[in-house]
């Protein structure tokens, strides 16, 4: 029996699942992971924490993951100061009541759509942006509308207000910095969105730690804005993608709303133990951020020197235009053991800022192909 023969929902027919190529090559720069490994001494402590959790694995985990939420609150209040940033400021400080977590930030966003979306409700995004928003909306039976960004994929308060006025969404999705373009988002844009709607405003800060630091985090806007939600992840800066831990900072009433839709015991004892141990080593886990920022800025400079047009980026990746045939370039790089991402934007490819060696390998291969062409 084929998928088409099954009695699936009509709105799922013809759809394709999300997924970037998973190909085992020497230089994997396609899904914006932190390519630096977890430090050995941190890995040892995480292993010990998981080992201890195993002794009580016959019991359900803490449904409220209280200790993990406390660790996340500590990080939200103080963590970014560890890597020299001033992006996280939450008034008098976030508490466990302001924090939520799930299996990756995708599940956090899914729970938001389940709680605040649904039949007859609309979500608004600004394309191109993270493709999972539309898929999550589909799963939550929420209409998903998209408005084009301005030149070079920028957003302005005026554009955001006009889009909200026109479409009257129940959920507004703002990706900061934006995936797949890397575009920074000003606090004035977030404030404009919040003031223009009576619905929920979600700021997806999956890559916030890589910012140049010219703007504070949207978390600084949370006090007095109960409909503002800030989603983050441990997958990127924390080099913890395989652990699947995303989190949310928001008003306590929002956390109560998410409790209505989450599955019971949704965070395993192993996930909680691993994440708590990693957060105990925030300083060590974040040491690679500065190295990644250097490689990101190197990509911006050297791609331009090769004749390409990189878009400004506050993330750990760079989208660059001027690629005559993205599919062919993708395959030619892959043949050299280098995996990048074709995100489907005409004339562009996207590359993750890896280690110095990985970035060098990519730039050397791209330079060879460019000059040969």
pLDDT tens-digit readout, 27-80: 999 999 999 999 999 999 999 999 999 999 999 999 999 999 999 999 988 754
Indicate which CATH number applies to the domain containing 168. Answer: 3.40.640.10
Render the burial of 144-169: b for 16+ CB within 10 Å, e for the rest: bbbbebeeebbbebebbbebbeebeb
In this predicted structure, what is the pLDDT of residue 85?
45
Using pLDDT thresholds of 50, 70 and 90, give the confidence band for residue 311: very high
Signed CA dihedral, 108, 112, 114, 115: sign only: positive
Question: Is residue 2 in some structural domain?
Answer: no
pLDDT at residue 79, rounded to an integer = 52
Least confident of 3-7, 179-183, 213-217, 332-336: 213-217
93 confidence band (pLDDT: 50, 70, 90): confident
Q: Which of 245, 264, 280 is the last residue of a domain?
A: 280
Number of domains observed in the structure of the chain: 2
Q: Are residues 220 and 299 in the same domain?
A: no
Whether residue 295 is found in the same domain as residue 348: yes
Same domain (yes/no): 70, 25:
no
pLDDT for the residue numbered 90: 45
Helices (H) and strands (E) in the chain, counts: 12, 12
pTM for the whole thing?
Answer: 0.95
Report CA Rg, the chain: 21
Domain that includes residue 339, residue range: 20-38+286-372
Domain match, 62 and 179 both: yes
Residue 27 within a domain = yes
Half-sphere exposure of 23 (CA within 13 A, CB side): 19
What angle (nearest 5°) sits at the alpha carbon of residue 206, between those of residues 205 and 210? 90
pLDDT for residue 82:
45
pLDDT digits (tens, 9 = 90+) for 6-29: 999 999 988 888 888 899 999 999
Across the range 292-306, mean pLDDT stands at 97
């Amino acid at each position: 029996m084929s998928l088409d023969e099954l009695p699936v929902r009509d709105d799922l027919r013809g759809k394709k699942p999300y997924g970037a190529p998973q190909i085992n090559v020497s230089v994997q720069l396609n899904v914006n992971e932190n390519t630096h490994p977890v430090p050995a001494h941190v890995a040892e402590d995480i292993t010990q924490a998981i080992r201890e959790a195993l002794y009580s694995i016959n019991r359900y985990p803490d449904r409220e993951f209280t200790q993990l939420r406390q660790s996340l609150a500590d990080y939200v209040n103080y963590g970014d100061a560890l890597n020299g940033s001033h992006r996280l400021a939450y008034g008098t400080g976030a508490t466990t009541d302001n924090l939520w977590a799930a299996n990756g930030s995708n599940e956090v966003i899914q729970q938001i759509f389940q709680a605040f979306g649904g039949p007859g409700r609309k979500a608004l995004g600004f394309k191109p942006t993270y493709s999972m928003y539309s898929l999550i909306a589909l799963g939550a039976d929420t209409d998903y509308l998209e408005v084009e960004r301005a030149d070079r994929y920028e957003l302005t308060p005026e554009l955001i207000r006009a889009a909200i006025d026109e479409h009257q969404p129940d959920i507004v999705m703002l990706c900061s910095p934006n995936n797949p373009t890397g575009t920074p988002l000003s606090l004035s844009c977030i404030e404009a969105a919040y003031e223009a709607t009576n619905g929920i405003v979600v700021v997806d800060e999956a890559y916030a730690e890589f910012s140049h630091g010219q703007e504070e985090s949207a978390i600084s806007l949370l006090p007095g804005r109960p409909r503002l939600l800030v989603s983050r992840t441990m997958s990127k800066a924390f080099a913890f993608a395989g652990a699947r831990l995303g989190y949310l900072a928001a008003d306590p009433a929002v956390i109560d709303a998410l409790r209505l839709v989450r599955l019971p015991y949704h965070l395993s004892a192993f996930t909680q133990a691993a994440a708590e141990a990693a957060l105990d080593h925030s300083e060590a886990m974040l040491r690679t951020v500065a190295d990644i920022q250097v490689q990101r800025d190197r990509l911006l400079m050297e791609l331009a020197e090769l004749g390409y047009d990189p878009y400004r980026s506050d993330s750990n990746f760079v989208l660059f235009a001027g690629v005559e045939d993205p599919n062919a370039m993708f395959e030619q790089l892959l043949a050299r053991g280098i995996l990048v991402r074709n995100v489907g934007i005409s004339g562009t490819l996207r590359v993750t800022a890896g280690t110095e060696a990985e970035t060098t390998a990519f730039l050397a291969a791209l330079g060879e192909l460019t000059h040969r062409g």
